[in-house]
Amino acid sequence: MSVKVSLKGDIKEFDKGTSVAEIAKSIGAGLYKAACAGKVNGNVVDLRTPITEDCQLEILTFSEEEGKKAYWHTASHVLAQAVKRLFPEAKLAIGPAIDNGFYYDIDLSRPLTQEDMPKIEAEIKKIIKEGLSIERFELPANEAMELMKEQNQTYKVELIAEHASNGEAISFYKQGEFTDLCAGPHLMSTANLKAIRLTSATAAYWRGDAKNKALQRIYGIAFPKTSELEEYLERIEEAKKRDHNLLGRQLGYFTTVDYIGQGLPILLPNGARVIQLLSRFVEDEEQRRGWQLTKTPYMAKSDLYKISGHWDHYQDGMFVLGNPEKDDEVFALRPMTCPFQYQAYLSKPRSYRDLPLRYNETSTLFRNEASGEMHGLIRVRQFTLSEGHLMCTPQQLEDEFKNCLDLVIYMLNTLGLYEDVSYRFSQWDPENREKYIGTQEQWNEAQGTMERILKDLDIPYVIGVGEAAFYGPKLDVQIKNVHGKEDTLITIQIDQMLAEKFGMEYVDADGTKKHPYIIHRSSIGCYERTLALLLEKYAGALPTWLMPEQVRVLPISDRLIDQAKKVEAKLSISGVRVTCDTRSEKIGYKIREAQLEKIPYMLVIGDKEVEEGTVSVRSRKDGDLGSMLVAEFLAKIQQEIVTKAK
RNA sequence: GCUACUAUGGCUCAGAUGGUAGAGCAGCUGAUUCGUAAUCAGCAGGUCGCCGGUUCGAGUCCGGCUAGUAGCUCCA
């Protein structure tokens, strides 16, 4: 009995039951050694999988995404094995491959510290050297349960219990003395691993629930070549140099003060300037697109939040002024603008002719984040959001949603961040009903509408179950910081619940009263976070139109200060943000400082320039551009500013 | 909130085993007047995050708090 296997176009015959690994071996020893997993008719399989029928087969190596995952998954098992050897009492939880390496969550008698890492790494190297072959076996659920109970692996027992109901056998992988519950796939031997580095050890809750026990999570990364590992680590180090939390402080964008408090950054002149530029740009663009600016209070009585549902669903996140138990009147700082802008809608009776009604606001919000959440400018307790709420009829919803998305994409393109974002369709979690308002039907309808729109626009997205707002589904624009941590930059939400709660209505053409659909949306996100990501994206060298200081005039000697000042004045009067470095320093020194501050253009003024009425232009990215007339330079930089060139 | 780490002049960092603070850069003063990433010299600057404890003596050891960092949880 033989099977026909199509390998990259070639069809080869093998005995029925030949494993993927053996097929790889028949192609070449090199491929066999590099093989991480197989792909049969598009499905990723373990190398040990027997081929029992004609199929398309691909051998996956580390260069393929799924191959990498198998490689890292095996690395996580070796990590667990090493920890087990050093801490025999360790209980294993889960150890998956992730986008950048792998981790293993382990219950240990004590937390790990940085000193433990080299010891674990040394043990890992030993295990790799031992070249333990990795074997797969299956057990019926009850026997699997017994095996894990014997080893006192309570977390595994819990996992098996969940799988037991579907009647399938439970698979294990064994290498040397170490056996782990695992679906695979895995490499054939620990010897196939090469360069492993443990990157950090932190705590992580069992099953990601803060109510559960905190386990020790060890993160690591692995590569088939030492040089690749070194390159990776170097890349990480380079990325960290772009960290806004470092650059933003160094370059005078923001600072923090311990006695002001966590998550309450001071925006220094540079930071405040960029945010001013961004918000002007946003408000102008929104006006062009039919949005009307409102300015609403920063706080309200609890009564308002009781109507909106924030009091019941968001109180932990709010700064409440006063004691709800004792005081007659309790206020709270606003965590969102929605209920305030709705009052503008409610200020008079509305007709379908008024819709769509678009309100925008540059709105400062206050959210009482848990103390461990704050991070530079990315996660703070007071921030300013480019916010808006749009009231429309069901017929208008789709077009208006698309318009909102178009605005978002326009903003992202202008900032140069479009290529760095991904979309997340954030849905509710029906298992967790108490977190949300509204009925199953309302959620199905709102989510169905959003899904239809996204499909129609052909937007690629991932689904985030349980990521919805308490009042409706969201389309979140996600972005990663230099550490690879993902955050929401911008969001567009569909809400059909709050209009009803607030009694927002419009009189339709047929004379009946109806509740409008509401779109909650941001256009450029919150300014602090967007600034942070811009600083990281451009390593501090923001596009010229956004730079707090666009030009610095550098006289070569004190004799030329007057002339330099004239150039400064000429540019300044034309709206260019320019300064003049009048210190008695050498030109090389002045240039070095301007360069380190990422000033887009340095204008060197010497005798020659004064004589010719020119300036010697140096760009931060292209160096010396030679000399040109002041008017020429002005035209050049104005062009760059108007087009918002990146 | 949880786990780990960190906190020394404006910034970056030294200060084994507890004996009363040191450098570079920045700043100030003077000299230098210079052509595309650091001119030279001098001066000044710190109750070592805060509170408490141990000790004859604490930057150093212990506890608490505050803030910062990474991760978890939570979220724009």
In angstroms, the CA A3 to CA A521 distance is 56
For residue A598, give the nucleotide whose C1' atom is nearest its CA.
Answer: B37
Q: Which of A374, A376, A360, A382 is nearest to A298 (CA)?
A: A382
Among the ranges given (A4-13, A200-209, A343-352), the one the predictor scored with the smallest mean pLDDT? A4-13
Phi and psi at residue A247, to the nearest 5°: -60, -40
Please tell me which residue lies nearest to nucleotide B7, judged from CA to C1'. Answer: A258
Which residues are A198's β-sheet partners? A220
Cα(A356)–Cα(A288) distance, integer angstroms: 15
CA distance A309 to A292: 26
Tens-digit pLDDT profile for residues A487-498 = 999 999 999 899
Number of residues written out for chain A:
646
In this prediction, residue A161 has a pLDDT band, given cuts at 50, 70 and 90, of confident
- Output the average pLDDT for chain A: 90
User: Residue A323's pLDDT band (boundaries 50, 70, 90)?
Assistant: confident
Closest residue, CA to C1' of B1:
A370
Q: How confident is the model at residue A346 (pLDDT cuts 50, 70, 90)?
A: very high
**Smallest CA–C1' separation from A206: which nucleotide?**
B72
Nucleotides of B under 7 A from a protein CB: 1-5, 11-12, 31-39, 49, 66-76
How large is the ipTM? 0.91
Give me the pLDDT at residue A336, please: 93
pTM of the model as a whole: 0.90
The residue assigned the tokens 């910081």 is A481
Cis check: omega of the bond before A394, within 30 degrees of 0: no
Through-space separation of residue A200 CA and nucleotide B70 C1' in angstroms: 8
Residue A387 pLDDT > 90: yes
Question: A114, exposed or middle or buried, with CB in 10 Å at 0-12, 13-18, 19+?
Answer: exposed
User: What pLDDT is attached to residue A425?
Assistant: 96
Report the 10 Å Cβ neighbour count for A152. Answer: 10
Q: From CA A595, how far away is CA A11, in angstroms rounded?
A: 60
Average pLDDT over residues A515-542: 95
A171/B58 CA-to-C1' distance in Å: 58
Cis peptide leading into A335, omega within 30 of 0?
no
